[in-house]
């Protein structure tokens, strides 16, 4: 009963949401695309010729955006869920924290890369504090992975949630990157604890 009420609220919210409508008009699979666009407008992280990993890429709007706007890029998206085909994007279905997949990603690029982006989130439990902790652990895993994958001066973007591990992730970023910013894109829902960490210029 309670679950039905929650999903009805969710459907009503989606119907009213201008970003959902806009994403349908523009042919994107998710409203999440506007968060990446807004991050890029402010921090200029995307450039032609980059090699980029999209962690937690399903259903695929971030990779759709990268593939359609950038030239001469090498792109890989991984998710626990299947991602429908996207032109010029290598897709992987698996858990990125699993060493086998980390290795597969490394072999695909076979060299250090320019950018790691992560919009990963775990299935929410409804308990916002618990969700923030588990997603915080994922963000910590992804920053570790970014350090291994990135070239000197490489960049990293991850979703993080305001919560207990927030300060730890921000200070980890400051240790390894010369510029660290926290930004909540205008299209990120106001009632969500979600925000984004933008880490630029990996130290050598
Ligand atoms: C908010 S969605 C990403 C939306 C995506 N940026 C887009 O534009 O379509 C978060 C995704 O993170 C994925 N995810 C969560 N944990 C993961 C993990 N350990 N490895 C890979 N993907 C994961 C989920 O399956 C989910 O599809």
**pLDDT value of residue 14:** 65
Using the mean position of ligand 1's atoms as its centre, give its distance from the Cα of residue 57 in Å. Answer: 5
**pLDDT value of residue 22:** 93
Among 40, 62, 74, which Cα is nearest to 200's? 40
pLDDT band at 125 (very low <50, low <70, confident <90, very high): confident
What does the pLDDT look like over 57-108, one tens digit per residue?
999 999 999 999 999 999 999 999 999 999 999 999 999 999 999 999 999 9
- Say which residue the tokens 């490394």 belong to: 106
**pLDDT value of residue 10:** 64
User: Which atom of ligand 1 is the closest one to the Cα of 81?
Assistant: 25
Q: What is the largest CA-CA distance in the chain?
A: 54
Class of 28-202 in CATH: alpha beta
Average of per-residue pLDDT across 125-142: 83
- Annotated active-site residue 159? The verdict is yes
Tell me how far apart the alpha carbons of residues 200 and 181 are, in angstroms, rounded to a whole number: 9
Strands 150-161 and 113-118: parallel
User: Residue ranges per domain, the chain?
Assistant: 28-202
Catalytic residue, chosen from 35, 159, 190, 193, is: 159
- Tell me the Cα Rg of the chain: 17
The verdict on the CB of residue 62 being under 6 Å from ligand 1 is yes
Using the mean position of ligand 1's atoms as its centre, give its distance from the Cα of residue 110 in Å. Answer: 24
Is a pLDDT exceeding 80 seen at residue 4? Answer: no
Among 158, 173, 28, 182, which Cα is nearest to 96's? 158
pLDDT band at 50 (very low <50, low <70, confident <90, very high): very high
């Amino acid at each position: 009963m309670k679950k039905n009420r929650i999903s009805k609220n969710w459907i009503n919210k989606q119907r009213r949401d201008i970003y959902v409508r806009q994403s349908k008009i523009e042919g994107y699979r998710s409203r999440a695309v506007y968060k990446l666009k807004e991050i890029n407008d402010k921090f200029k992280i995307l450039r032609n010729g980059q090699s980029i990993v999209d962690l937690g890429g399903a259903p695929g709007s971030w990779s759709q955006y990268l593939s359609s706007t950038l030239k001469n890029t090498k792109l890989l998206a991984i998710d626990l869920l299947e991602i429908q085909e996207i032109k010029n994007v290598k897709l992987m279905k698996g858990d990125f924290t699993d060493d086998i997949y980390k290795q597969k990603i490394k072999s695909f690029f076979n060299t250090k890369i320019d950018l790691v982006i992560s919009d990963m989130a775990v299935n929410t439990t409804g308990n916002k504090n618990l969700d923030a902790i588990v997603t915080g652990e994922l963000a910590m895993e992804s920053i570790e992975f970014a350090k291994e994958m990135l070239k000197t001066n490489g960049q990293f973007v991850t979703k993080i949630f305001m919560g207990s591990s927030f300060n730890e992730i921000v200070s980890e970023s400051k240790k390894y990157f010369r510029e660290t910013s926290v930004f909540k894109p205008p299209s990120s829902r106001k009632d969500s604890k979600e925000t984004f960490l933008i880490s630029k210029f990996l130290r050598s």
